[in-house]
Chain A
Amino acid sequence: MTILSVENLSKAFGGIKANNDITFNVDQGSILGIIGPNGAGKSTLFDLITGYTKADSGKVEFFEKNIFGLSPDKISNLGVGRTFQKLKPFADQTLLENVMIGAFVKEQNIKKARDKALEIIDFVDLIEKRHHFAKELSTGQRKRLEMARAMAIEPKLLLMDEVTGGVDQKTIPGLVELIKKLKKTGVTIITIEHNINIIMEISDNVLALDQGKSIAFGPPKEIQKNKEVIDSYLGTFDAA
């Protein structure tokens, strides 16, 4: 079943077409990886889907409901969670408080919200850090915080912007495992990644963007053989 359908989505900033006629579908329970060089329009695409930037034209349907033009809070209320490329933790609040703010979407009772937040924090392996202020956490831990906070609203679709970006090599495998663990909970994931090996490992489908345009969409094995993708992004990609 299609959970998200994007048709002919376009956005221009002045003369620059950040997203140009983007079309793709995401199946429920799958992981869609989005790749592309810097400036390809990946994060803009996330902003258009989640309502942070208003698209010029196109159509976005979530569970066949048109969400084009809705505000970010309304879109998240429908079950679309997201993380940000430039991390946005509530810095002066503890990890637990950060996740509780998300948990309050479904839980009105403060104790239930706290317990639910603790379960999610445990899920992302940060239970010992729960009383630490967000600003005290490392980049990798803050990435987990954002994932936990987004999970707390019980999203059906989770958009994650460069989960493994800006973290050290030792931290990356843990974050990849966490994405796989998230998928097992049934949540559908769209993830932007620069690390091509990770995208190939975790994705069911891959969308390749270049200069705002969709240049390829399909299973990872097809994408890595696609000439246009190789020319614009992969270069001499070695799947090993």
Chain B
Amino acid sequence: MDKLIAAKSEPLWNTNNKVISIIGGLVVLLFALPLVGLNSFYLHLFIMIFMHAVMAQSWNVIAGFSGQISLGHGAFFGIGAYATSFFYMEYGITPWVSILFGMFISGVFAVLIGIPMLRLSGHYFAIATLLIGISFQVVFQRWDLVGAASGLWVTMTPEDSWIALQFHSSKVPYYYIFLFFFLISFFAVWVLSRSKLGYRLRAVRDDPQAASSLCINVANYKIIAYVISAMIMAPMGSLFAQYILIIDPDRVFNIEISIIVLLITVLGGIGNVWGPIIGASILIPISEYSRIYLGGTGGAVDLILYGLILMIICVFRPNGLISFIPKNILERKKQR
């Protein structure tokens, strides 16, 4: 009985004050970085890290939490990008509102795709999502209403505009916008991982049969995870469209997007909230620097490096780089 009382008096989470202080310090540092005069390249680098970390986090929700390997997640990125640009160009709707449209449309598509697809499992689901992702690219390449293969060129505002979400004189506002979405997304997924829904999704991932013996409707929970994942991915497409102001199917529905978010998550640590941050912080600089020194798209050297890193990780650290950090620092302490 004494042991039970002692167990009940434990805090719900093993809050390591040192870790909290480090995270708090890093957040403050991220907010302060533009103030110390980061040049345009480094601002861009951080923007890409934030964006890809959120995209990887989105993939982490469906793959890491509910165990469904999606290879077509770039579709939701593209939907977000097109939703923002199309509604702004056609109806003058501010991207701040059409980001929500993009999330909603992505969510609806996730339900429509998820209902038939999530009955599949393992490799079959992965292959099906791969084909779905490619089919979005093909459809948008032929859809005249959204510019077909030429895509959409967002009309530039004469000056910087928060309403139009366009900034031509500096990347700093973009930096803070992406940072804001990055922090919000990570906080949301952190809360999700500690919620009843998070527990149930992990049950579905680990053993669907056992999960259903605990009153969990496995198919419904997979769809919920897919919808949440899609709705996290879509705003990144929207913000990216406003960042580059020109989108086309080859750019925003490219299969490479789906593969990169997978690589980032696996490198950092799948199923762990911190994995996508670690993965993006390593892979995105490799990609950007190889682009600088090797030109164009990095002469595909970045992809070769991705492959090498992934092989090393799969062989020596299958749980990703996060596994270098002792579990009792980030998670609950085990009592022996």
Contact = CB atoms under 8 A, between A and B. Distances in A.
A52 B1 CA distance: 38
Nearest to B331: A94
B243 to A, nearest CB: 37
Interface stretch (B109-117, B203-211, B292-300): B203-211
Interface stretch (A1-9, A77-85, A185-193): A77-85
Given A73-B217, A94-B332, A128-B335, A101 B200 contact: yes
B12 A113 contact: no
B334 A132 contact: yes
A127 B3 CA distance: 7
B317 interface: no
A153 B214 contact: yes
A110 B215 contact: no
Given A52-B209, A104-B196, A130-B7, A76 B202 contact: no
Interface in A63-87: 71-73, 76-77, 81-82, 84
B102 to A, nearest CB: 31
A11 interface: no
A24 interface: no
Contacts of B218: 73
A54 B171 CA distance: 60
B213 interface: yes
B246 interface: no
| Interface core residue of A93, A101, A118, A153 (most chain B CB under 10 Å) | A101
Given A90-B206, A104-B199, A131 B333 contact: yes
Residue in A72, A94, A97, A153 whose Cβ sees the most chain B Cβ within 10 Å: A72
Contact of A84 (B4, B210, B271, B332): B210
B196 A110 contact: yes
Contacts of B271: 92
Interface in B199-244: 199-200, 202-203, 206-207, 209-218
B196 A76 contact: no
B12 A101 contact: no
A56 interface: no
A167 interface: no
Contacts of A183: none
B4 A110 contact: no
B217 A90 contact: no
Contacts, number: 95
Contacts of A77: 215
Contacts of A90: 202-203, 206-207, 210
B215 A76 contact: yes
A111 B334 CA distance: 19
A131 B199 CA distance: 15
A105 B214 contact: yes
A82 B196 contact: no
Contacts of A105: 214-215
Contacts of B214: 76, 101-102, 105, 149-150, 152-153
Contacts of A108: 196
A115 interface: yes
A99 to B, nearest CB: 10
Contacts of B168: none
Contacts of A150: 213-214
B206 A113 contact: no
A52 B217 CA distance: 13
Contact of B4 (A71, A72, A119, A149): A119
The 8 closest A-B CB pairs, nearest first, are A88-B210, A90-B206, A72-B212, A77-B215, A122-B4, A131-B334, A73-B217, A73-B212
Interface of B: 1, 3-4, 7-8, 12, 194-196, 199-200, 202-203, 206-207, 209-218, 271, 332-335
Interface of A: 50, 52, 71-73, 76-77, 81-82, 84, 88-94, 97, 100-102, 104-105, 108, 110-111, 113-115, 118-119, 122, 127-128, 130-132, 149-150, 152-153
